[in-house]
Structure 1
Amino acid sequence: MIPDIFISILFTPSFSFAFFVWLIAHYTLVKHRMEGAGRISATIALTLTCWFVLVIVISKTRLFAINPLFAPNIAFGFLLLFELLRRVYSSKTIQRIAENAPIALLMGIQIYRILGISFLTLYSQNLLPAAFAIPAGWGDILVGVTAPFVAALYYFGKPYGKKLAIIWNYVGILDLIVAIGVGTLAFPRPIQFMHTTPSTELFAMFPMAIVPLFAVPLSFVLHMLCLRVLKGNGTV
């Protein structure tokens, strides 16, 4: 059973993260007087809100945790999100916003990932396996702690600021890939490929489902958009 305090620990920072993503997008749209700024801003706000609420509602029904036929139900959520986020990343409107947005802020707001310490706490309570909690927890802490420093070095135009920002974004992506990969392999149904005790079943239930189905994909897209801008719209 997840301690009640984790509801606040996961809910508030994840929602705040989404709010600041919208705020930066709104600021960029207004500052650069982009066509349809009001409509685009409202669409982004509505999309993020509906996405967040939908994850909460579905996870509370335990749909992601019931016995699947041939793959974890939560995996279908990943596939759907992957396709939707691929479209978002390819969107000309989103590209325009990213190119004009304060990239330092988009990196800095990932400070919320210091909450990876919650994975280590759950591991200490025998609620998450070491194979997941240690790499994912410490990886998130590393990315979160360094986020404001990397953002500041880039913002103030230090000679190594841009290169460091590119490396930091790749490290952030690697951390997310490891977390999702191990989390999926250690999931108990239908086949637990990585036999751990406990498993990662917690992530199919509220409030932990907020992490893989909201916070992780949103962070992933931000890293990708930042890399696109930092590398001059080249191949990420």
Structure 2
Amino acid sequence: MSTNGHAKNVTTERCFVLILTIWGTAVFATGYFGILSNINTNWVPLLVMAGITIPVLVYYFNEDFRSYIWSIDLKHLTIYHVWRIVAALIFFHYGSQNLLPIQFTIDAGIGDLAVGLLVPIVLLLRESRSKYLVFHTFGMLDFAIAVGTGFTFNVLLNDPLMRNIITYPIVLIPLYGVCITGALSIMTLDRLLKNKHHSEKLRDES
């Protein structure tokens, strides 16, 4: 990487960390002081989708940000998912206290636990593009199931227990952790698939 390219990545990284810090602080503060508990829970899936979609759009339309994401070691983009073990334990706790629908805590908790526990196994496997592709695909499928179940209980069934999803501390999971992890997973999969296409194109041309 050129000196200019490295400098751009450093600047982009600082902006990225700053935005994540502001974002996390905002969710923490509004959750901790009960501000989010006043909103209609139907907004939660919309906020989650926005939290995933906006970073992904920036990735596709901003070359500097895309270059920065591509510069991150795939191991680092994978080990980040360890946080999902903590998320699973929080879901299980809320479910055991009858604070969330049982089916939702099962779908969200077991999936997060499985993904989190897979991280060290994936990192110990022989280095290959395939292992990361399988892992991040599995992680996205888990998100799809959890978000779909949450949407069903929240919007379609209007389960009153889903109001607890916007209370502190669990609100940090959907409005911060899920958004960032979902967005990074999409970016990582895009990177892995484009690398595969590029490799196949080089092989065909040789």
**Interval containing the TM-score (normalised by the shorter chain):** 0.7 to 0.9
Please tell me whether residue 139 in structure 1 is matched to residue 111 in structure 2. yes
Deviation (angstroms), 1:135: 1.3
- CA deviations on 1:60-93 (whole Å, 9 max, x unpaired) are 454443364xx72334423532442232331322
Residue 123 of structure 1 contacts residue 133 of structure 1 at CA under 8 Å; is this kept in 2?
Answer: yes
State the identity as a percent.
Answer: 22
Please tell me whether residue 107 in structure 1 is matched to residue 78 in structure 2. yes
- CA deviations on 1:20-70 (whole Å, 9 max, x unpaired) are xxxxxxxxx9999613344323211210100001112222454443364xx
CA-atom RMSD in angstroms: 2.7
User: Where does the alignment leave 5 or more consecutive residues of structure 2 unmatched?
Assistant: 198-206
TM-score, length-scaled by structure 2: 0.81
- Mark the CA change 1:224 to 1:207 in structure 2 (over 3 Å): closer, same or farther: same
Tell me which residue corresponds to 2:63: 92
Aligned amino acid, residue 54 of structure 1: A
TM-score, length-scaled by structure 1: 0.71
Deviation (angstroms), 1:142: 0.4
**Aligned equivalents of 1:151 and 1:226: distance in 2?**
15
Residue 12 of structure 2 contacts residue 65 of structure 2 at CA under 8 Å; is this kept in 1?
Answer: no
- Mark the CA change 1:126 to 1:49 in structure 2 (over 3 Å): closer, same or farther: same
Residue 207 of structure 1 aligns to a residue whose secondary structure is coil
Q: Which structure has the higher relative contact order (CA within 8 Å, separation 6+)?
A: 2
Residue 9 of structure 2 contacts residue 68 of structure 2 at CA under 8 Å; is this kept in 1?
Answer: no
Deviation (angstroms), 1:212: 0.6
- Mark the CA change 1:229 to 1:63 in structure 2 (over 3 Å): closer, same or farther: same
Tell me which residue corresponds to 1:34: 6
Residue 64 of structure 1 contacts residue 73 of structure 1 at CA under 8 Å; is this kept in 2?
Answer: no
Residue 136 of structure 2 contacts residue 189 of structure 2 at CA under 8 Å; is this kept in 1?
Answer: yes
Aligned amino acid, residue 89 of structure 1: Y
1:177 to 144, 150, 166: 144
Residue 107 of structure 1 contacts residue 148 of structure 1 at CA under 8 Å; is this kept in 2?
Answer: no
Residue 93 of structure 1 aligns to a residue whose secondary structure is helix
**Aligned equivalents of 2:14 and 2:78: distance in 1?**
23
Tell me which residue corresponds to 1:6: none
- Mark the CA change 1:117 to 1:84 in structure 2 (over 3 Å): closer, same or farther: same
Residue 216 of structure 1 aligns to a residue whose secondary structure is helix
Please tell me whether residue 210 in structure 1 is matched to residue 172 in structure 2. yes
**Aligned equivalents of 2:4 and 2:75: distance in 1?**
17
User: Higher helix share goes to which structure?
Assistant: 2
Residue 65 of structure 1 contacts residue 205 of structure 1 at CA under 8 Å; is this kept in 2?
Answer: yes
User: Where does the alignment leave 5 or more consecutive residues of structure 1 unmatched?
Assistant: 1-28
Deviation (angstroms), 1:220: 0.9
- Number of paired residues? 195
Residue 101 of structure 2 contacts residue 162 of structure 2 at CA under 8 Å; is this kept in 1?
Answer: yes
